Structure formats: structure tokens, C-alpha cells
Structure 1
């Protein structure tokens, strides 16, 4: 009986974290869509960021929305269009025989994404590892007593 209650408590806690993460990502994509106003291809990029913002917002307010056919079709269509755009950009760079790729916007963007991903992983790693060790108590069983009291 206690196990069921504990499992339900863990599930509700994880659901709250899931909703918060989706809300934050929705906010991020909405702001990313907004700052594209001064871009020459604003409509293209705004749509590219607005679709994930809407999908994350639906997921944040109603997590079961991911089970609907409309949500899945929109998500699949967005992935398909994004993949096609990336393929077209790659083909254009190849066809035009661009040798100095970092002088092009298409070449600098992945480097920026890599830098941001590295910064985020460095920032998030301590929190994720702390949560992992906090949840899995058996990993701490062989630690000295002064380490066990630190968590």
C-alpha cells in the first residue's frame, strides 16, 4: 500500500517538473520567435520558433495533449520541414562550393549552438548529478559518513 502511494507521489512530482520544463521551453521559443523581427527572413524564422513554442505550451498546460493526433501531426510536420530546410541549406553550400563556411551565417550558427550546448551542460551537470545521487540512495551506501551528511 505504501509503495503505491510513494509511486504516485513520485509520478506527480515528475509531472510538475515536466510541466515546468515545457513552460520554460515554450517561453524560450516564444522569445526566440519575437527577436527575429529584425531578421531579413523574419516570417520564416518566426514560424520556425512559434510552432515549437505552441507545442510546448500545449504540453505544459495539458500533458496528455501529446497523445492527440493533431499535436503529433504538427510536431511531425515541423520536424519534416526543419529537416528539409537544413538539407536545402547544406545542398546550397555544397552547390556553390563555399570553402570558407564560417564566413556564412549557415556555418556560424552550428558553432554558436555548440557553444550554448556546452555552456548549458556545464551549468546543468552539477544539478543533474546531485539529483541522481539523491534519488539513488544505494550509490551513497559506501560513502564515508562526512560525505553522507553533505547531501
Structure 2
């Protein structure tokens, strides 16, 4: 029982971290050329994930599930479009391309929403909880790596350099 309680706390903490990540990702869109779109893309999972961190059973709610499904479907379509664009036009490291960074954001959203949606039927534990922890830490570790990597920062577009 104590292990189950710890797993539930970890799950809630992971959701809080992801809500913070999605909120921060929405906030840094202010000077992006297509800021409106990307702000919404990140604010929807931020709100849905914050609700899960507050009340994990919300994932049983039909409205929550419908919003999650619709947003995930849009992210899958966006992921496909960005992947095709990158395949056709990328000239180097995809993290140096704005579309590559956007693609990773959509993939993270899709994976996280899938984990949240499946948590209603089966409480997260074991491998799925470890996956949730890894996914929750990945964006922050990536941001830290990109921020300290001077070569990568030099390749950022101007609107990215003025956000931080």
C-alpha cells in the first residue's frame, strides 16, 4: 500500500512538472512568428495535465477525455506534417531547425497525453511510471543542454535568442 501511495505521488509530481513545462513552452512563444498557434498547442495540455496533477481521477471524465483525444489527434497530424517537412528540407541537425524543435514538442505532448489517458483504467506503476518520470524530466534536461551548448545557441533564430 505504501508503494502505491508513493507511485501516486510520483505520478502527480510528474503531471505538475509537465504542466509547468507546457506552461513555460506556451510562455516562450511570445515573439515567435506563429505564436498564437503554438501557445494554444501548449496551453491545452498544460491545463489538462494540471487537472490530472490536482485530481488524477479527472481522466475518467468524458469532457477531459474528449479534449485530450482531439488535441492528441491534432498533434499527431502536426507531427506527421513536420516530419515530412523535415525529411524533405532539413539540412543538418533537426534540433537546429525550428520545425525539429516543434516536432519534439508535439511528440512530447502526444506521449504525455497518452500516458494521462491510460492512467484512468490502470494506475501508473512499474515500467509506465518510470517512462512517465523519464518523459517528465526529458524536456528540462534538453532545455538545460541546449541552453549551455553555445554552438547550438548560436544557431537559434533571433526570436529565440530574445526570449531567455
3-state SS of 1:37 partner? coil
The separation in 2 between residues aligned to 1:81 and 1:111, in whole angstroms, is 14
For this pair of structures, how many residues does the alignment match? 110
The separation in 2 between residues aligned to 1:78 and 1:20, in whole angstroms, is 22
Q: Does 1:41 align with 2:34?
A: yes
Which stretches in structure 1 are left out of the alignment for 5+ residues?
1-6, 122-151
Structure with bigger helix share is 1
Q: Does 1:100 align with 2:82?
A: no
The answer on whether the counterparts of 1:101 and 1:107 sit within 8 Å (CA) in structure 2 is no
Matches within 5 A, 1:104-123: 104-107=97-100, 117=138, 120=141
The structure number with the bigger radius of gyration is: 1
Which stretches in structure 2 are left out of the alignment for 5+ residues?
108-136, 143-164
Matches within 5 A, 1:26-105: 26-92=19-85, 97-98=88-89, 100=91, 102=93, 104-105=97-98
The answer on whether the counterparts of 1:25 and 1:53 sit within 8 Å (CA) in structure 2 is yes
Taking only aligned residues, the RMSD between alpha carbons, in angstroms, comes to: 3.2
- Range with greater deviation from structure 2 (16-25 or 38-47): 16-25
Provide Cα deviations, 1:16-46, integer angstroms capped at 9, x if missing partner.
2211111111111111101111101001111
Provide Cα deviations, 1:39-78, integer angstroms capped at 9, x if missing partner.
0100111111111111110001001001111111111111
